């Protein structure tokens, strides 16, 4: 039996849509106080209303925004128990076309944004006595590759490099930090890649379907639980078996 997260305060960056909204919804339905963070105010306020959450407008690539987001969560709910550092972008560019600005922009949100979010919430996570950080990484980068996403893959692998040293530092503060590595999950962002991408992707997954945002939310909820207190610096792949086949032939054989 898992101890309920009722009354705990959970900050979800990128919680205004997609996977982050799924994570926020899972925690909200579990009785947590949820704060969703994103840059688009209209969307953020709409999501917050839908989920019964609070909304803070912030760009995680900016230190002052991250500090304000943490301060507003504390002002609203009195502390922070769980940070889901989920905000991320995935524009595509082949290496020969990629500009320096493309590389800076994706690292600013996915890597710097992850680190600044964690840093801004540290004191409150320590004060909670059972602080939890859950990163949203990806299979792309740490395990797999995909043409057009070399910069993206680099950022998702970088998050895991950060995770392993942060886990050692944060252990002394009673905080765990772990990462969920999603495969292909049904989101508005993924929809923008078009129906052909979706169809081909489904056929390369052993379960023959994309994941749901809640699938990532439940993995995050597990890492946030009291029962996961002795797990830190670890990752969990949530991908319907996508990384398993060693070739397309392995899938065609069933
Ligand atoms: P999404 O639908 O495009 O949503 C991204 C969220 O992040 C939005 O709430 C967005 O809000 C926010 N965001 C983006 N840049 C931000 C910034 N600089 N500061 C604050 N918020 C920011 O994307 P998603 O598919 O849910 O992806 C979420 C995370 O999952 C990412 O880290 C991504 O790498 C990872 N992931 C996704 C998949 C997938 O299949 N979808 C697979 C593996 C990993 P605003 O635009 O309003 O700021």
Which tens digits make up the pLDDT trace of 156-177?
999 999 999 999 999 999 999 9
Rounded to whole angstroms, how far apart are CA atoms 217 and 104? 29
pLDDT for the residue numbered 193: 81
Measured in Å, residue 253 CA sits from the centre of ligand 1 at 35
Task: Match 């769980």 to its residue by tokens.
Answer: 82
Length of the chain in terms of residues written: 254
Distances (CA, A) of 143 to 108, 152, 200, 244: 22, 13, 19, 10
User: pLDDT tens-digit profile of 91-119?
Assistant: 999 999 999 999 999 999 999 999 999 99
Q: Are 15 and 36 in contact (CB under 8 A)?
A: yes
Task: State the distance between the two ends of the chain, measured CA to CA, in whole angstroms.
Answer: 37
Measured in Å, residue 252 CA sits from the centre of ligand 1 at 32
Select from 66, 9, 77, 79 the least CA-distant residue to 37: 66
> What domains, with CATH codes, occur in the chain?
9-252 (3.40.50.720)
pLDDT for the residue numbered 197: 87
185: left (phi over 0), alpha (psi -120 to 50) or beta: beta
pLDDT for the residue numbered 238: 98
Concerning whether 55 is annotated as a catalytic residue, the answer is no
pLDDT for the residue numbered 242: 97
Q: What is the mean pLDDT of the chain?
A: 97
DSSP category for residue 228 = G
User: pLDDT tens-digit profile of 125-147?
Assistant: 999 999 999 999 999 999 999 99
pLDDT for the residue numbered 138: 98
pLDDT (tens, 9 = 90+) of the chain, 254 residues, equals 899 999 999 999 999 999 999 999 999 999 999 999 999 999 999 999 999 999 999 999 999 999 999 999 999 999 999 999 999 999 999 999 999 999 999 999 999 999 999 999 999 999 999 999 999 999 999 999 999 999 999 999 999 999 999 999 999 999 999 999 999 999 987 788 889 988 999 999 999 999 999 999 999 999 999 999 999 999 999 999 999 999 989 999 98
pLDDT for the residue numbered 225: 98
- Which numbered atom of ligand 1 lies nearest the CA of 43? 47
DSSP letters, 153-212, are HHHHHHHHHHHHHHHHHHHTTT-EEEEEEE-SB--HHHHTT-HHHHHHHHHTSTTSSPBP
- Which numbered atom of ligand 1 lies nearest the CA of 110? 32
Rounded to whole angstroms, how far apart are CA atoms 44 and 55? 6
Q: Are 37 and 58 in contact (CB under 8 A)?
A: yes
Ligand 1, CB within 6 Å, residue ranges: 13-14, 16-20, 37-40, 43, 58-61, 86-90, 109, 113, 136, 138, 182, 184-185, 187-190
DSSP category for residue 246 = S
Measured in Å, residue 16 CA sits from the centre of ligand 1 at 9
Please identify which of the residues 55, 146, 152, 218 carries the catalytic annotation: 152
Kind and range of the H or E run holding 103: helix 100-107
């Amino acid at each position: 039996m898992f101890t309920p997260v009722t009354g705990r305060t959970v900050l979800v960056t990128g919680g205004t849509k997609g996977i982050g909204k799924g994570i926020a919804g899972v925690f909200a339905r579990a009785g947590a106080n949820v704060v969703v963070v994103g840059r688009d105010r209209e969307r953020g306020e709409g999501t917050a209303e839908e989920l019964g959450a609070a909304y803070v407008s912030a760009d995680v690539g900016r230190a002052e925004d991250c500090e304000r987001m943490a301060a507003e969560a504390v002002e609203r709910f009195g502390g922070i128990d769980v940070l889901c550092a989920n905000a991320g972008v995935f524009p595509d560019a082949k290496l020969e076309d990629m500009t320096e600005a493309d590389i800076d922009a994706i690292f600013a949100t996915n890597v710097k944004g992850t680190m600044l979010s964690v840093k801004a919430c540290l004191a409150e996570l320590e004060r909670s006595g059972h602080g939890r950080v859950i990163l949203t990484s990806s299979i792309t980068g740490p395990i797999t590759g995909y043409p057009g996403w070399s910069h993206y893959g680099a950022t998702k692998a970088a998050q895991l490099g950060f995770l392993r040293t942060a886990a050692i530092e944060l252990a002394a503060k009673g905080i765990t930090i772990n990462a969920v590595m999603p495969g292909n999950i049904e989101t508005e962002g993924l929809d923008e890649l078009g129906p052909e991408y979706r169809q081909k992707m489904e056929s390369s997954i052993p379960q023959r379907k994309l994941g749901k945002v809640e699938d990532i939310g439940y993995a995050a909820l597990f890492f946030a639980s009291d029962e996961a207190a002795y797990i830190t610096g670890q990752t969990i792949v949530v991908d319907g078996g996508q990384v398993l086949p060693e070739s397309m032939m392995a899938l065609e054989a069933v």
